[in-house]
Amino acid sequence: MRAVIAGTGGYLPARSVTNDELAAWKGLDTTDAWIVERTGIRRRHIAAEGETASDMGLAAARAALAAAGADASDVDAVIVATATPDSAFPSTATLIQGRLGSTRGFSFDVAAACTGFVYALGVADALVRCGQARGVLVIGTEVYSRILDWTDRGTCVLFGDGAGAVFLRGMPEAEAAGRGILSTHLHSDGRHGEILHVDGGAGSTGGTGVVRMAGKEVFRHAVAKLAAAVDEALAANRLAQSDVQWLVPHQANIRIIDAMGKKLGLPRERVVVTVDRHANTSAASIPLALAEAARDGRIARGDLVLMEAIGGGLTWGAALARF
C-alpha cells in the first residue's frame, strides 16, 4: 500500500502582527530590522483568546478533507503533532476526531516539537503500509503564543500560531502509480534536550512552562543534521538532488532554509517559504506551507516534494513524497 497525499489544508488565526506591532504590544527592546536580518520573519499570526490547538487543527483538517473530496466517514485515524495540546488528555487528535464526527478508528498525539509533522507522517505512512488504516488525517497545530516568555526577545519574536493538515489515502501500489509518501527518516538525540526545551509542563514539579533556547547551538545542529537527513532520504530512494522539484522545509529561520536550498542546488523559487509571514509555527509549519503551495498551484500532481525539520529533543527528520 501507498499513502497518497489526497488533500492539504491550512488555518491561520485572524490576527496577524508585524514585528513593529509586536515590539510595541509586548514592550520588547527589538527592531524590525534585527528580526528580519537574523530570521527573515516579518509577521506572525496570534491565536485569539480561547482559540485552541484543536480549534485550529479542526479547521485545517476540514480543509484537507474538502480538498481530497473526502469526509469524516473516510477517516480511520487522526494523528496530531503538537507541543501545545488543549489539555494533557483527551489528546488533541481525539478532540478533533470527536468534532469531525468520526466514530470509527483511532486518534492520538505525537510529541516531537518542530519535527512533529514529519514524525506523524512517518507513523501514518507505516499504519497505511501495514494495512492498519486507510484514510489518515495528519495534522500539525500549535499555539506557541501560550508557551513563550514574552519578556525574552531572543525567543518570543520567533514563533507564531497556526495549523496545517494532510489527508492520506491508502492505495495499492499499482493504483498509486508512483504517487505517495516514498519514505520518512526520523531521528532524535536526547542528549541535546537542554538547548531547546519547554521549562516545565503537566507532570513537572517546577518550571515556568515556557520555551527556552540556546539559539546559536540549535542553529549549528540544524544545518548539519538537516543536511544529513536530506541525503539519507534521497539515497534511500536512489534519487539525486536534481530530482527534487520542491523543498518544503520547517520554517524556523530563512538562513537555515537558504542553507538547505543551496545544499540541494535548488533555486529560491523551488523552495516554499512562509516564515516571513507565519514565523515558526513548529509542527504546523510544513503542512501549512504544503497547503499554501498546493492551493496556489505551485505543487502539482506528480511533483517530488522533500520535507525536512528539526526541533526540540533534539528531534529531526526528512520525508519524500510524490504528490
Catalytic: which of 19, 45, 114, 278? 114
Alpha carbon 12 to its chain centroid, in Å, reads 13
Q: Residue 135 or residue 287: which is nearer to ligand ACO going by CB?
A: 287
Is the Cβ–Cβ distance between 198 and 212 less than 8 Å? Answer: yes
Q: Does 18 bind ligand ACO (CB under 6 A)?
A: no
Q: Annotated catalytic, 280? A: yes
Yes or no: say if 28 and 145 are a contact pair by the CB < 8 Å rule.
Answer: no
What are the phi and psi torsion angles at 314 (to 5°)? -65, 145
If the CB atoms of residues 168 and 196 are measured against ligand ACO, the closer one turns out to be 196
The 3-class SS string of 98-134 reads HHHCCCCCEEEEECCHHHHHHHHHHHHHHHHHCCCCC
Query: Using the rule CB under 6 A, is 114 a contact of ligand ACO?
Result: yes
Q: CA–CA separation, 221 vs 198, rounded Å?
A: 18
Task: List 281's β-bridge partners, or say none.
Answer: none
Residues 42 to 101 in contact with ligand ACO, rule: CB under 6 A: none
Question: Of 171 and 275, which has the nearer Cβ to ligand ACO?
Answer: 275
- Supply the DSSP symbol for 47: P
Q: Please say which residue, 80 or 309, places its beta carbon nearer to ligand ACO.
A: 309
- Considering only 116, 122, 160, 312, the residue that binds ligand ACO (CB under 6 A) is 312
On the 0-12 / 13-18 / 19+ scale of CB atoms within 10 A, 262 is exposed
Buried b (16+ CB within 10 A) or exposed e, 41-59: bbbbbbbeeebbbbbbbbb
Cell of 75: 477517516
Shortest Cβ 34–ligand ACO spacing (Å): 4
Clarify whether 192 is annotated catalytic: no
284 φ, ψ (degrees, to nearest 5): -85, -10
Q: Mask of contacts with ligand ACO, 215-234, x by CB under 6 A?
A: xx-xx---------------
- Residues in the interface with ligand ACO (CB under 6 A) total 23
Q: Name the minimum Å distance from CB 60 to ligand ACO.
A: 19
Bridge partner list, 146: none
For ligand ACO, the binding residue among 112, 113, 118, 266 (CB under 6 A) is 113
**Contact range with ligand ACO by CB under 6 A, out of 46-54, 55-63, 240-248, 306-314:** 306-314
Tell how far CA 105 is from the center of its chain.
Answer: 23
Residue 176 near residue 22 (C-beta atoms within 8 A):
no
x-or-dash string of contact with ligand ACO, 185-204, rule CB under 6 A:
-----------x--------
CB of 281 to ligand ACO, least distance (A): 9
Does residue number 34 form part of the binding site for ligand ACO (CB under 6 A)? Answer: yes
Between CA 224 and CA 219 the distance in angstroms is 9
Residue 114: closest CA among 147, 83, 154, 153? 83
* Residues 144-163: x where in contact with ligand ACO by CB under 6 A, - otherwise, as a string: ---------xx--x------
**Residue 310 in contact with ligand ACO, rule: CB under 6 A:** yes
**252 lines the binding site for ligand ACO (CB under 6 A):** yes
106 binds ligand ACO (CB under 6 A): no
Residues recognised as catalytic:
114, 250, 280
What does the binding site for ligand ACO look like in residue numbers (CB under 6 A)?
30, 34-35, 38-39, 113-114, 153-154, 157, 196, 215-216, 218-219, 252-253, 256, 280, 282, 310-312
